[in-house]
């Protein structure tokens, strides 16, 4: 039998590690690898129309499965297109490996056609980024890359010149055959005792939980019950914390609830668990802060911390719980829960059909979607106002999942993430909350839905604007500029691309059309004509004073009432 090529060894190494598919777009320099995929048939090639889609899709798969996902781009522009999606994967700490094909090895350094330097380009959005310049490096370099992506959670990039991929492999087989290690990381006994002491003594405790609480729902609830502590969740923690949680008081931050904000501001001790909630102005100034995170480098990153612990949430809470007493005083908890009930009610009142009048409230669209979507639906929301609606009106239940570009904050994430979610979870209902700006940005990949037979449902919030940016401009006290969108008929475009396309212009069309799309046996798009200025910001004196500040530096929660932001710097709703 002829020797394997390096490209064959690459595919075998992926297959041995359980990789099931590679997202990408071919090109000359990638031909060796795509040809090995074609011949070996162990791994599916997921053909997309833009490499950025490939990276976002791989990131979605990795987020949902917690396993390694792979994307690939050809040399120069091909892999350069991966970069924004890879930034998102890296900042979300999901294990993604990118194959960046490189120009012929003997041309490197000559300014050759399509020459770039992937080792430099991807250095900032990866834990590991290396060039394979000779067959002897394989499979070791690829295995180091995979191990790095998995163990450090993030991106690893392997650059391979097309000619090296086509050379005879020296080693013939992958070398690593062990299951992914799953160590238990827990603070020492002394540290746990110290932590218990601090918590047992504190009076008004609030928990801020994030994505690092995944898999520790029961422990978190038991902790809150013992401490009589309200739980505020950060956005990426929503899918893991909010459901079945009698202590939940919502999110904090600009998109959050005033109840989440005040629960944090009014505590004596803030207990941060598995969160990297980024906005400093929403942290209390005088409270004692305790932080638990699996990564030591995260401790104290966002606010001052008095006690920091390195540990996995579940393991740490399991060790901690037996040492905690039951607190009696539940005044702080009760007040926070009552505040949450009111805040929730206020937001729910906005999610109405507006007595049938146009334009449609986007909140209503998401409330209807929330009601009609499957028990285990996977949602993805675009950056922009769809992130607000998802945060406030999608109900999580432990089976549903929520994808977004929450840490990197890139537009156009929802469709590509939905592609990754759907191809990796063929039986599941996958629904996007897409902005009209966001959808247009990577719209080419609407075409992939039919080609991949991916029955994704797309809900487009057609507000003919970059509405979130209009909010930002208002907050900064500047006139709106460059935010108009002259949109196509998205439904007609969808029809042209082989999708079911529907347009909801009036509130009474929303429910039947979303229901029809969800039932449809194939991809579908519903464009909903929604109001443009659902969250307006009039120049009230308090906002005036903040002129020149970005929306994200405001100490404000969007009230959602269309007439004001809750200026938290001035009003204390809690007392
Ligand atoms: C337009 C827009 C507006 C936004 N507005 C808001 C807002 O108002 N409010 C809001 O909350 N967010 C908002 N976000 C999202 C925000 O930017 C952050 O992405 C989010 O707050 C981070 O959530 P997190 O802390 O749960 O997740 P991450 O940032 O991913 O942090 C998770 C932490 O958990 C740790 N960890 C992981 N695994 C474990 C483990 N097993 N045990 C212990 N620790 C672990 C990690 O090391 C990390 O430090 C917005 C995003 C966008 C795009
Ligand atoms: C790639 C990228 N470009 C620009 C931005 C800045 N930005 C944030 S939200 C947004 C508007 C999104 O518009 P749309 O998708 O229509 O959603 P809307 O807010 O109108 O609902 C823009 C331009 C960004 N976050 N990412
Ligand atoms: Mg828009």
Residue 505 CA: distances (Å) to CA of 357, 360, 370, 439: 10, 7, 19, 19
Segment 352-401, tens digit of pLDDT: 998 888 899 999 999 999 999 999 999 999 999 999 999 999 999 999 99
Does 557 have pLDDT greater than 90? no
487: closest CA among 468, 506, 463? Answer: 463
Rounded average pLDDT over 110-132:
98
Segment 459-491, tens digit of pLDDT: 999 999 999 999 888 877 788 899 999 999 999
93: closest CA among 325, 275, 266? Answer: 275
- What count of other Cβ atoms lies within 10 Å of the Cβ of residue 140? 15
- Per-residue pLDDT band for 153 (boundaries 50, 70, 90) equals very high
- Per-residue pLDDT band for 189 (boundaries 50, 70, 90) equals very high
- Per-residue pLDDT band for 408 (boundaries 50, 70, 90) equals very high
432: closest CA among 451, 452, 412, 407? Answer: 412
Radius of gyration for the chain, computed over Cα atoms and rounded to the nearest angstrom: 25
Give yes or no: 574 in active site: no
Give yes or no: 185 in active site: no
Question: Alpha-carbon distance 254 to 281, whole Å?
Answer: 10
Under 8 Å between Cβ of 553 and 474? no
The residue count for the chain: 575
Quote the ligand 3 centre to 479 CA distance (angstroms). 17
Does 559 have pLDDT greater than 90? no
DSSP E strand stretches across 393-534: 401-404, 430-435, 457-462, 500-504, 524-529
Helices 31-40 & 6-16 angle (0-180, nearest 10): 60
The reply to whether ligand 1 has any atom less than 6 angstroms from the CB of 392 is no
Q: Which protein residues have a CB closer than 5 Å to ligand 3 (ion)?
A: 435-437, 463, 467
Under 8 Å between Cβ of 485 and 469? no
Mutation test of ligand 1: which of 255, 302, 404, 553 has the most ligand atoms closer than 8 Å to its C-beta?
Answer: 255
The reply to whether ligand 2 has any atom less than 6 angstroms from the CB of 465 is yes
Segment 232-289, tens digit of pLDDT: 999 999 999 999 999 999 999 989 998 999 999 999 999 999 999 999 999 999 999 9
Question: Alpha-carbon distance 315 to 126, whole Å?
Answer: 28
The predicted structure's pLDDT at residue 2 = 67
Rounded average pLDDT over 192-219:
98
pTM summary value: 0.96
The predicted structure's pLDDT at residue 477 = 79
């Amino acid at each position: 039998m002829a020797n394997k090529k390096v490209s064959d060894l690459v595919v075998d190494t992926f297959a041995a590690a359980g990789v099931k598919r590679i997202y990408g777009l071919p090109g000359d320099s990638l031909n060796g690898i795509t040809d090995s995929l074609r011949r070996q048939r162990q791994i599916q090639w997921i053909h997309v129309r833009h490499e950025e889609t490939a990276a976002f899709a791989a990131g979605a798969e990795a987020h949902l499965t917690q396993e390694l996902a792979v994307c690939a781009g050809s040399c120069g522009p091909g892999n350069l297109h991966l970069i924004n999606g890879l930034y998102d994967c890296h900042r979300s700490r999901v294990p993604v490996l990118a194959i960046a094909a490189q120009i012929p090895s003997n041309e490197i350094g000559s300014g050759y056609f399509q020459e770039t330097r992937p080792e430099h380009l991807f250095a900032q959005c990866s834990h590991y980024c290396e060039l394979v310049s000779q067959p002897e490096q394989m499979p070791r370099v690829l295995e180091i890359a995979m191990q790095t992506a998995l163990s450090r959670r993030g991106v690893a990039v392997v650059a391979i010149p097309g000619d090296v991929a086509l050379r005879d492999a020296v080693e013939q087989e992958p070398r690593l055959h062990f299951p992914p290690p799953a160590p238990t990381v827990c603070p020492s006994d002394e540290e746990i005792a110290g932590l218990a002491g601090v918590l047992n003594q504190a009076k008004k405790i609030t928990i801020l939980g994030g994505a690092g609480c995944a898999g520790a729902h029961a422990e978190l609830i038991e902790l809150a019950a013992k401490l009589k502590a309200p739980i505020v969740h950060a956005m990426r923690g929503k899918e893991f914390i909010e459901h079945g949680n009698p202590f939940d008081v919502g999110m904090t931050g600009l998109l959050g609830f005033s109840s989440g904000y005040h629960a944090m501001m009014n505590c004596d001790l803030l207990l941060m668990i598995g969160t990297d909630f980024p906005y400093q102005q929403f942290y209390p100034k005088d409270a004692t802060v305790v932080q638990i995170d699996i990564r030591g480098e995260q401790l104290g990153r966002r606010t001052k911390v008095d006690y920091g612990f390195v540990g996995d949430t579940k393991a740490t809470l399991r060790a901690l719980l037996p040492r905690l007493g039951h607190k009696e005083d539940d005044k702080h908890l009760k007040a926070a829960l009552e505040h949450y009930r009111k805040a929730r009610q206020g937001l729910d009142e906005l999610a109405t059909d507006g007595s049938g009048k146009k334009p449609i409230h986007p909140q209503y669209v998401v409330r209807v979607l929330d009601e009609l979507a499957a028990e285990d639906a996977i949602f993805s929301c675009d950056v922009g106002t769809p992130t607000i609606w998802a945060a406030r009106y999608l109900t999580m239940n432990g089976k549903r999942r929520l994808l977004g570009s929450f840490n990197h904050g890139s537009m156009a994430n929802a469709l590509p993430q939905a592609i990754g979610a759907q191809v990796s979870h063929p039986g599941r209902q996958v629904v996007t909350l897409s902005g009209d700006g966001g959808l247009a940005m990577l719209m080419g990949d609407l075409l992939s839905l039919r080609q991949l037979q991916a029955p994704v449902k797309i809900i487009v919030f057609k507000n003919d604007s970059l509405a979130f940016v209009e909010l930002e401009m208002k907050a900064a006290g500047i006139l709106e500029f460059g935010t108009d969108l002259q949109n196509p008929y998205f439904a007609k475009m969808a029809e042209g691309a082989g999708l079911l396309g529907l347009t909801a212009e009036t509130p009474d069309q929303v429910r039947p059309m979303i229901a029809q799309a969800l039932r449809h046996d194939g991809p579908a798009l519903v464009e909903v004509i929604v109001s443009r200025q659902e969250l307006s910001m009039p120049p009230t004196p308090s906002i005036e004073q903040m002129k020149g500040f970005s929306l994200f530096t405001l100490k404000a929660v969007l009230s959602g009432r269309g007439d004001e932001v809750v200026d938290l710097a001035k009003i204390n709703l809690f007392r």
